Amino acid sequence: MESQIIAKVSKGSNMNQIYLPKNRSGMQPGEYVLINILANNPAHTLEIEKARKAGFKPYFYGLGKLKQIEPIKLQIIKNIFDISSKFVQKEFNVIITGSFLDSGFNFNDIDVIILEGDADMGGVENEIIAKLGIKPHVLALSKEEFSQGLASDPVYQTMISRCISKNRLIFNFKPRINAKFLDLHLLKSKALIDNFEILNGKEKYYLTFNLISIYLFVQNGKITKDIVEKTIKQEFEIKTLEEIKENLVENYFLNKYKTIYNKTFNLIMEKIHNGSE
């Protein structure tokens, strides 16, 4: 089988470029390769249909149609499901989330949540690293812990709003504003204000995403990753999120960020004064 890697074309100063991981088979320096657009690729759709016919039928949330997931990522997810089964002693579910699920070359940020499984998390993580060459974030939660996280933590809500699970998920929670917890959570995003000049684009995006997640959650209680991303573009008047990720934002961005940070802080203080948890 030919070596295939999913990657994204990035903007360079003189030439556009594609970054490939060093830990790969094939495509060595000096070799010629063929670059092809992934979207609407008939071979891509065929590989996904093969996976479905082979009995691999995970549940997709917030990701649209199955064909939007690259075949190589589907294979990685199947392997993670299989690996997890070796280290869990009872009935369980596995949730895959993180920017790994975004279109393109995003293989580093992959979160693996194991629900209701007495799992050896170290064993799961080590075998994923050894077999797949990817370092995941592995977390084991009970159903109660999972529901509590969804109810009170905007990070949980955005993660689960776009995910793939081994078995069907049932979302049954009532949003609960824990103002003191959110205040501590917000403090992380102050790092962008204090270190704007030295942070890279990915760090700025992460802190911005965290800020807007809290900003929306403290007002509405329920959020999704799509809503947060849409709000970022609207509030900061940018066309794409890549402007932040590629560190193309300037002082106007910082000024707007400070305004939203202060608004969010005031909203949280109001909740605390009104007797929220």
Give pLDDT tens digits along the chain (277 positions).
345 555 556 666 556 676 665 555 566 676 767 666 554 555 555 555 565 556 678 888 887 644 467 888 888 999 999 998 888 867 789 999 998 888 776 777 899 999 876 667 888 899 999 998 888 999 988 888 888 889 999 989 999 999 999 999 887 778 888 999 999 999 999 999 999 999 999 999 999 999 999 999 999 878 999 999 999 999 999 999 999 999 999 999 999 999 999 999 999 999 888 866 5
The pLDDT of residue 102 is 83
**Cβ-based neighbours of 224, under 8 Å, separated by 6 or more:** 62, 157, 158, 161, 162
Six-digit token pair at 30?
A: 């000096």
Domain range list for the chain? 9-165, 179-273
Radius of gyration of the chain (CA): 20
Please state the pTM of the whole predicted model: 0.75
Contact 150, 173 (CB under 8 A): yes
